[in-house]
A = this chain, B = another copy of it.
Amino acid sequence: MKKFKEILIGKPLKSTNDESHLLTKLQALAMLSSDALSSIAYGPEQIIIVLVTVGSMATWYSLPLALIILVLLFALITSYTQVIHAYPSGGGAYLVSTENLGTIPGLISGGSLLVDYMLTVAVSTSSGADAITSAIPELYKYNLLIAIILALLLMLMNLRGLRESASFLMVPVYTFITTTFVLLAVGIFRIMSGSLPYHATAHVGTTVTGVSLILLLKAFSTGSSSLTGVEAISNAVPFFKRPKEHNASMTLVMMGSILAFFFAGVVFFAYWMGITPKPTVTVIAQMATGILGTGPVGHVVFFIFQFATALILAVAANTGYSAFPVLAFNMAKNKYMPHMFTARGDRLSFSNGIISLAAGAVVLLLIFNGQTDRLIPLYAIGVFTPFTLAQVGMVVHWRRHKEGNFWLHSIPNMIGAVISFSVVMILLLFRTGEIWPFFIVLPILIIGFIRIHSHYVNVAQQLRLREGEPEHKYKGNTVIVLVGNVTNVDFGAINYARSIGDYIIALHVSTNENTAKEQEIEHDFERAFPDLHLTVIRTSYRSIITPAVRYINLAAKNAKKHDYTTTVLIPTFIPSKPWQNMFHNQTGLRLRYYLNSHEDIILASYNYHLKR
């Protein structure tokens, strides 16, 4: 068992190995930016899909919409740079909202993000699977299975620990960044040299009938799904190499710049070449074909680009794996999530968080049958809710800490808050049919958080030792030994019981099938312990548990009356090989389970080890 675990996730690591696990900027960019960058594979397309519902001439509106999204991106990047400096121990919407706005807004942020990270994994692995199966159509029927396998593979990688995953992820992320740069550079060169003709469906400014404010808002809200993932870096500051804050904010700016350039580039080329969505070929693939042409070199580059897109989509899911366990850890530290999320595994990763995330994502994949389109509105509401709260929180933060110019610091946060809030409102008003589950799950989560919190507070109160409590001195010890057949195990157990106990009860429970057997046991016992009495209970039930528990309880009450302790000693033998346990009845284990719920009984097991 232990061996198997080591093969799967590697040998245990010392806590002091922490430092070397920290991330350089380039590693961090690979780890944390894939979610944001990969969204150019679907964000621009989603805008155009909404616009062309009133005719292909409307596509020029994608340019001003993209501009607004870039403004929002700029505001978010500025805002989160400030979060990194204000909360160097790992900020993120949960901490910022909690500290500045209070518990409930904090829990709303935290709950939204926990769900959102699951959606990140679900959306990215399912799009990743789509990309793979588009390349290899034979695999199409295994689409959902591939998404699930991707989610589980990422889980295993993350259980192995952060750094190794990061180096592993650098190849696909940088391949994607490089090929996209090459693609856009070639495109720009061809426009400048006049070899990529202007084919827009309509000039900028053309009046298109049917374009309404609602349509533009819908297009904007879907396109803004490209901005998910910006949060990730500010949550992961503690994982950066020193100087942590500087490196984290530099990485954030790098990521923002690359995303802005890619997003603007894709929208622009799609407009320039007059691309409209097709059911079988994605917008970004059409753009790549258009720019690269159909020559052999162009063809090879096209395939590399498509493959890198597929890979980065799969990798994007990893952002969730980095961020979810840290958020769960922060919430667990504040007693809003179970303690188990604070425990690090053998490889210093937060195993429970990683496993919960994978489980949640797999459930989402199964519920939505891996359909990316149905997941995206939920994804957007889940991320823009905490965005809004975090940025309102930052404004409050600047009001409280008057370090430097309030307006200089808070204007980016205010703009960010207003735009984020607008996205939330647009989603609420125009996509209610798709986002309603969010408003069922979130309150349930928040109630859960609050109840967990009050449970921990309650337990702590009950456990607190009163000052100056006097020691209790017992008058003696009752030890009840459960005797089955009279073997070496029972023999050793009774010797031990005599050493610790003042009053020994040897108890045998007999099912009424076989009185000969019962007499044999009584006889054997008398021979082995002539000075001890064997108490025999007969039961007409098949299970010895109920009568044994009833007798032990009575004995314990009696012992307590005389101020004696009660110890129940269960003799068990341990086979030489652990798997041999399946050949032996688990009565001891079951008895332990039932006795656990009874007070004033100490449960002890005497283990006899078999040699062969």
Contacts and interface: CB of A to CB of B under 8 A. Distances in A.
A474 B500 CA distance: 9
Contact of A477 (B487, B499, B599): B499
Contact of A512 (B15, B473, B543): B15
B500 A488 contact: no
Contacts of A606: 602
A580 interface: yes
B512 A487 contact: no
Given A477-B500, A486-B465, A495-B472, A346 B528 contact: no
Interface string A446-485: 0000001001101100111100010111101100000001
A31 B312 CA distance: 60
A149 interface: no
A333 interface: no
Nearest to A568: B604
A605 B603 contact: yes
Nearest to A587: B343
B574 A597 contact: yes
Interface string A494-506: 0110111100000
A511 interface: yes
A601 interface: yes
A213 interface: no
A487 B469 CA distance: 11
A235 interface: no
B339 A541 contact: no
A6 to B, nearest CB: 14
Interface string A7-33: 000001011100000000000000000
A456 B583 contact: yes
Interface in A558-573: 565, 567, 569, 573
B612 A596 contact: no
A340 interface: yes
A602 B496 contact: yes
B596 A607 contact: yes
A573 B607 contact: no
Given A338-B583, A500-B567, A488 B464 contact: yes
A582 interface: yes
B469 A491 contact: yes
A466 to B, nearest CB: 8
A541 B603 contact: no
Nearest to A468: B527
Nearest to A486: B465
B455 A542 contact: no
A597 B607 CA distance: 9
A3 interface: no
Interface in A331-369: 338-340, 343-346, 348
Given A338-B583, A541-B14, A585-B343, A604 B603 contact: yes
Nearest to A489: B463
Contacts of A495: 471-474
Range of interface residues on A (Cβ < 8 Å): 35 or more
A607 B603 contact: yes
A264 to B, nearest CB: 45
A344 to B, nearest CB: 5
Given A465-B491, A583-B339, A540 B499 contact: no
A611 interface: yes
Interface in A298-345: 338-340, 343-345
Contacts of A464: 487-488
Nearest to A512: B15
A553 to B, nearest CB: 13
A281 to B, nearest CB: 32
Contacts of A575: 455, 459
Contacts of A605: 602-604
Contact of A496 (B346, B565, B580): B565
A234 B348 CA distance: 61
A523 interface: no
Contacts of A500: 477, 500-501, 565, 567
Among A339, A476, A489, A607, which residue has the most Cβ atoms of chain B within 10 A? A607
Given A458-B612, A499-B565, A603-B607, A511 B474 contact: no
A609 interface: yes
A154 B578 CA distance: 33
Contacts of A348: 542
A584 interface: yes
A337 to B, nearest CB: 9
A15 B540 contact: yes
Interface of A: 12, 14-16, 338-340, 343-346, 348, 452, 455-456, 458-459, 462-465, 469, 471-474, 476-477, 485-492, 495-496, 498-501, 511-513, 524, 528-529, 540-543, 565, 567, 569, 573-575, 578, 580, 582-586, 596-597, 599, 601-612
Given A12-B541, A463-B573, A471-B498, 12 more contacts: A15-B542, A16-B540, A339-B584, A343-B542, A346-B543, A463-B610, A465-B490, A472-B495, A496-B565, A500-B567, A574-B597, A599-B609
